[in-house]
Amino acid sequence: MQPARKETTRFVCGQCGFASRKWLGRCPDCGAWDSLAEERQVAAARPGRPAATVQPLVAADGGEEGERLVSGIAEMDRVLGGGIVPGSLVLIGGDPGIGKSTLILQLLSSLAARQHQVLYVTGEESVRQIRMRAGRLAIGEREIFVSTENCVEAVVDLARQLRPALLAVDSIQTVFSEAVGSAPGSVTQVREATARLLQLAKSTHLPILLVGHVTKDGAIAGPRVLEHMVDTVLYFEGDRGQVFRILRTVKNRFGSTNEIGVFEMQERGLVGVDNPSALFLAERPVNVPGSVVLPSVEGTRPILVEVQALVSRSSLGTARRTAIGADPQRLALLTAVLEKKLGVTLFDHDIFLNVAGGIRIVEPALDLGVVAALLSSFFEKPIDPATVVCGEVGLAGEVRAVGQMEMRLREAGRLGFGTFLMPESAGRQLTGKAAQGVQVVAVRTVADLAERLFRS
């Protein structure tokens, strides 16, 4: 006799996953307006749950760090913290056409070349289309198995039968559960399918990679709770008009949350970049106003990037403030600091800021680079191309210390820079520790910075 099936109707918030039995104009959990959508759920009656078990923590099997599944793609292993942890659930998001499916296929190929059997489940493309992409990427390993199944229950059964070393699902928005009556891609379906795959990963120690679509705001589509369910969240960033791609860690229960992997899109797919600093500075203009080099730290890796600024008199009633690769609010704050502390008139000037190479810098160490680039463009005086700057700027115009300055100093010396302008507190500690001939120059305020850079 078939178990009774009961259909229920509820309204689920598309932003946070909050559920209500009646429609509400505003979500009481996250405060979003008009975000609750009707969902119909058909659930089968389930047998009684088995009794819960408990054991001492010291007696539990914690595994060894060396048990990580090394993919062979250095940039991918870096952002994952050294490799893929058995039983982990990894979510990769990115814009359409950015290269998510290409990266997944190359990852599976690298594992298959190491004699690991892998399974690729896709609900968006046919096997023929995947085979054509594999041909363009010169992928032909026999250990890669492909399925176009969309039902999560069937995917779980297939994984239990095949027992692959890795399961990749592309994408989670196309997978549905038979226990839910709503359409694939809905809030309920995405949450239920992820929960089933999470249970599979934890019970069988099978690592699973999920590909997720992103909304127009850049967030992964579906309820926000989706990112809380998985172990690792990676965002694949970049402009399709550029060859560089950035794989950024947003959440990682098994490693650093600040790591990035840098890839270059070539004819045969994505290729990891071993020296991103040299790549980002390869086309840097020399002796041009508005350009300065900043040593940024992403996780455990120092990267030198170029910060560009263009300050020009505005013909509009309200001057424009545009930032690419940086926080626009931070740009407005630093502009106000320069007007107040240095008397620089910027309210009637358009300001455009760009971090070259398509990379986004979120750390406060960017502040001093932005200030230097703005002053250079405003005064029409170029900054010495052998100079790098780094530090946080406060509202009083003071220059504050940032972390890992010695690592930034070594990277600047490795690439041949001769002068490093940094906060006074960090400069006192690093004086005499110059890396490969780099001169450490300490600055206390933005006025000191202007004096050091443009005193001639």
The answer to whether the beta carbons of residues 388 and 419 sit under 8 Å apart is yes
Higher pLDDT, 357 or 144: 144
Tell whether the model's pLDDT for residue 455 goes beyond 70: yes
The answer to whether the beta carbons of residues 256 and 300 sit under 8 Å apart is yes
Cα 251 to the chain's mean position, in Å?
A: 9
Cα 380 to the chain's mean position, in Å?
A: 35
The answer to whether the beta carbons of residues 106 and 245 sit under 8 Å apart is no
d(CA 367, CA 345): 19
Tell whether the model's pLDDT for residue 408 goes beyond 50: yes
Residue 44 pLDDT class (50, 70, 90 cuts): low
pLDDT at 281: 92
d(CA 330, CA 326): 8
Instruction: Give phi and psi for 14, each to the nearest 5.
Output: -75, -10
Tell whether the model's pLDDT for residue 7 goes beyond 70: no
Share in percent of the chain as helix, strand, coil (round to 5): 30, 30, 40
**Partners of 366 in the beta sheet?**
none
Overall pTM > 0.85: no
Its sign, for the CA torsion 341, 344, 347, 352, is negative
- 327: tokens are 């926080």
d(CA 16, CA 31): 10
d(CA 314, CA 104): 46
Residue 97 gets the label, from left (phi > 0), alpha (psi -120 to 50) or beta, of left
Q: For 156-182, how does the pLDDT look when each residue is reduced to its tens digit (9 = 90+)?
A: 999 999 999 999 999 898 999 988 777
Using alpha carbons, select from 210, 205, 253, 202 the residue that is nearest to residue 81. Answer: 253
The 8-class DSSP code of residue 150 comes to: -
C-alpha distances (whole Å) from 190 to each of 23, 49, 225, 432 are 20, 24, 10, 56
- 436: tokens are 């490969």
Tell whether the model's pLDDT for residue 2 goes beyond 90: no
d(CA 387, CA 371): 14
**Residue position matching structure tokens 């502009």:** 335
The answer to whether the beta carbons of residues 299 and 363 sit under 8 Å apart is no
pLDDT at 1: 46
The answer to whether the beta carbons of residues 234 and 115 sit under 8 Å apart is no
Higher pLDDT, 176 or 358: 176
Tell me the average pLDDT across 247-273: 89
Q: For 24-38, how does the pLDDT look when each residue is reduced to its tens digit (9 = 90+)?
A: 899 998 888 888 877
